[in-house]
Structure 1
Amino acid sequence: MNIWYFHHYAGGPGMGRLTRPYHLSRAWAHTGHTTTNFVASFHHMLDIKEPLPPELTVDGVRYVALPARPYSGNGLGRIKNMGDYCRAVLHLPARVPSDLAKPDAIIVSSPQPFAIFPAAKLARQFGAHLTFEVRDLWPLSLIEINGTSKFHPFAILTAFTEWFAYRKANLVSSVLGGAEAHMRAHGLGPNKFVHVPNAVSLARLTMPEVPTTAAGLTAAAQIAAWKAEGRLVAIHPGAQGAPNGLDKLLEAMSLDECAGDRRPVRRFAGWYWRYGRTTQG
């Protein structure tokens, strides 16, 4: 099967942080499928803040970079970048490499959901199975987390996009296991939902990870010093944004009912409230 995977912020080792397309592509390759990842030529999740070349391969995983203007911040420039990507998807048949076979399956991942519109047209054109992969619930994330009004123009646009995607996709997958009820209430038909959680490559766990940045080397040295003192070191490797609730975890760990010495937890909690929240993400 030939898969076209549209992920605006697709990454991989040495390329970008969002590596789900990379790992899925490698897993599909082991089962005999071919995948091409269509990524924006520029996005803020790239390791090197320069536009990508039109084509590149990372450990056998193929990427085609669609033209999208550089931007900074979270304003109009980023929205225009999304528009560039969607226009490039719409005109993809006229610009794809000649050796790129027509797709049997098209997957649209929704760090930004708008590519579902041109991708649905491509699916009709090629007779391909269309899957919508939900990362964030739009516009619910905007409304519940950011406090955006449901009547905000962007919230209305994403609500229509959500409605369109649930109706046009043959299958809707999500890392959010409890999302089906919400989706069914917003137009998703029966037997169209599948939960595909994030995972980890066990092979990579056996590889020694050596930090290469100054911050990484400093952190590694501090962790080694704490271990030498006999301390228990707990690491939160994920984001520190409002949706992640790290403050609740720290409060729970600091309760008097928790067993053991709570002073290291409280010291870390104090550090987090003073410094950690200013460097979220």
Structure 2
Amino acid sequence: MKKKNIWLWNHYATDMYQNRGGRHYWFAKNLIKNGYNTTIFCANVRHNTGDVIDIEEGIYSTDTRDNIPFVFIKTPKYKGNGKKRILNMISFYKNLFPVAKEYSKKHGKPDIILASSVHPLTLVAGIKIAKKFNIPCICEVRDLWPEAIFAFNKVKENSLLGKVLVSGEHWIYKKADALIFTKEGDTDYIKEKKWDLFQGGVINLKKAYYINNGVDLDAFIKSSNLNILDDPDLEAKKFNVVYVGAIRPVNDVGKILNVALRLKDHKDIQFLIYGDGDQRKMLEQRVMVEGLTNVKIKGFVNKRFIPYILSKSSVNILNYSQNQYNWARGNSSNKLFEYMASGKPIISTVKMGYSIIDKYKCGIEIENASGDDLARAILDIKEMPKTQYDQLGQNARVGAKEFDFKVLTKKLIQVIDCVTEENK
């Protein structure tokens, strides 16, 4: 049987190339193991860094990493989220068309395209180019645009631009041969819009699938043993409350400092914050002014050290703002599954819909968590009997196995097979 050629499109997979890991990197690795020829297409400019993959001639270059072919599409450099980033998105979209044509002449056309957001232009290109090739396109929606834009008040939903964005989103959902959502409740959005067939719309929910983010468990365990971070605080005989991730308004990391202030008399508890973002300096100033000796803001850390850091935690914090995101549809954050893989209890400062923490009984979710609520949850886990504490960790590992990318790739193959069969 002829191997299927799968093209995975993710504008920002350049980061996965550099880190040797990430959703589409792990999908590609496992698809290749399952007999598929798989290629990742991404921009040559790495998001949020000054890194650029050089393209000496033309508008794309190629490289292979860990047997995964990568195609880097030429885009302009940018910083932040302003006009230059939008130009970068548009450039990626426009250049996908000639690159797809030229690459297919050299390497054969794909049997299927999986086009992944964040931004919707990649999905639009996937649908249009798949039509030219007379093949199906799977659109993977990892963030509900434009809802996320509306939530942050960057654009008003009732504005002309807002209506254009919603109309474009509807077109994508209608034209895609299949839809993959990363949160279990994301199809509720289609129902809320009354776009589904049952309510007189044109979108058949039978073509909508759920494949969350996850973790490469083998790589995680290997990294926790090999990539050891020299950090004395991790080795201290203390109850380590660990947060790993961005330090931005949506993550509301200042709440952790509020809790540290409440628990400052518990000398055996320390708060370790790993990550960076536009609120980091403000929080470092607070630590100094408020004399929070039980808080260590570590700053950016290479992703390869995250498994080791989490192996030294006592409890991991999923800390989010209550009002800057719609948590009713679930959670697809990468760190949730890294936390689970570490086998340590988790505390979430928001109550999630379709809750994975509740499903696997691996921690505590707090609805509308105040600083006092979070402090109480930390003490509850610290003071619980060892057998109960250990059970939370074991439950987390059980859940992580179900979100291992070997399992998630099997789900993706089922989608590929269904779409292929329907388009014969």
- TM-score, length-scaled by structure 1: 0.79
- Report the secondary structure of 1:62's partner residue: strand
Deviation at 1:174, TM superposition (A): 1.5
From 277, 284, 293, give the equivalent of 1:275.
Answer: 284
Provide the residue aligned with 2:222 in structure 1.
206
Separation of aligned partners in 2, 1:106 and 1:10: 15
From 107, 120, 133, give the equivalent of 2:127.
Answer: 120
Q: Deviations over 1:160-215 (max 9, x none)?
A: 3311110011111121111111023443422121111111111112233436xxxx
Provide the residue aligned with 1:84 in structure 2.
91
**Alignment CA distance shift 1:21-1:13 (3 Å):** closer
The letter of the residue matching 1:130 is C
Give the structure with the larger helix fraction: 2
Gaps of 5+ in 2: 56-60, 196-202, 274-279, 287-296, 302-424
The letter of the residue matching 2:227 is V
From 167, 179, 183, give the equivalent of 2:190.
Answer: 183
From 145, 155, 167, give the equivalent of 1:160.
Answer: 167
1:29 and 2:32 aligned:
yes
**Alignment CA distance shift 1:67-1:139 (3 Å):** same
Equivalent pair of 2:15/2:47 in contact (CA under 8 Å):
no
Question: Which shows bigger deviation, 179-188 or 107-116?
Answer: 179-188
Separation of aligned partners in 1, 2:249 and 2:94: 32
**Alignment CA distance shift 1:22-1:126 (3 Å):** same
Deviation at 1:263, TM superposition (A): 7.5
Relative contact order, higher structure (CA 8 A, sep 6+): 2
**Alignment CA distance shift 1:88-1:175 (3 Å):** same
From 2, 5, 12, give the equivalent of 2:5.
Answer: 2
Equivalent pair of 1:66/1:89 in contact (CA under 8 Å):
yes
Separation of aligned partners in 2, 1:73 and 1:177: 30
- Report the secondary structure of 1:236's partner residue: strand
Question: Which shows bigger deviation, 120-129 or 132-141?
Answer: 120-129
Q: Deviations over 1:238-273 (max 9, x none)?
A: 3333334555677789889xxx948736897xx997
Provide the residue aligned with 1:223 in structure 2.
233
Q: How do 1:123-162 and structure 2 match up within 5 A?
A: 123-146=130-153, 148-152=155-159, 155-162=162-169
**Alignment CA distance shift 1:42-1:221 (3 Å):** same
Provide the residue aligned with 2:18 in structure 1.
15
Deviation at 1:29, TM superposition (A): 0.9
Provide the residue aligned with 1:192 in structure 2.
207
Deviation at 1:2, TM superposition (A): 1.1
**Alignment CA distance shift 1:266-1:31 (3 Å):** closer
Deviation at 1:9, TM superposition (A): 0.3
Q: Deviations over 1:23-80 (max 9, x none)?
A: 110011111111111101113256x612344101111111101111111221111111
1:56 and 2:72 aligned:
no
Provide the residue aligned with 1:214 in structure 2.
none
Equivalent pair of 2:239/2:268 in contact (CA under 8 Å):
no
How many residue pairs get matched?
Answer: 265
Structure whose CA Rg is larger = 2
- Report the secondary structure of 2:209's partner residue: strand
The letter of the residue matching 1:166 is Y
- TM-score, length-scaled by structure 2: 0.55
**Alignment CA distance shift 1:235-1:5 (3 Å):** same
Gaps of 5+ in 1: 212-216
**Alignment CA distance shift 1:157-1:57 (3 Å):** farther
The letter of the residue matching 1:49 is D
Equivalent pair of 1:6/1:38 in contact (CA under 8 Å):
yes
Separation of aligned partners in 1, 2:186 and 2:222: 33
Deviation at 1:20, TM superposition (A): 1.3
Question: Which shows bigger deviation, 154-163 or 188-197?
Answer: 154-163
From 79, 82, 85, give the equivalent of 1:75.
Answer: 82
**Alignment CA distance shift 1:34-1:153 (3 Å):** farther
Separation of aligned partners in 1, 2:180 and 2:48: 23
The letter of the residue matching 2:91 is D
Separation of aligned partners in 1, 2:245 and 2:285: 12
**Alignment CA distance shift 1:63-1:255 (3 Å):** same
- CA-based RMSD of the aligned residues comes to 3.4
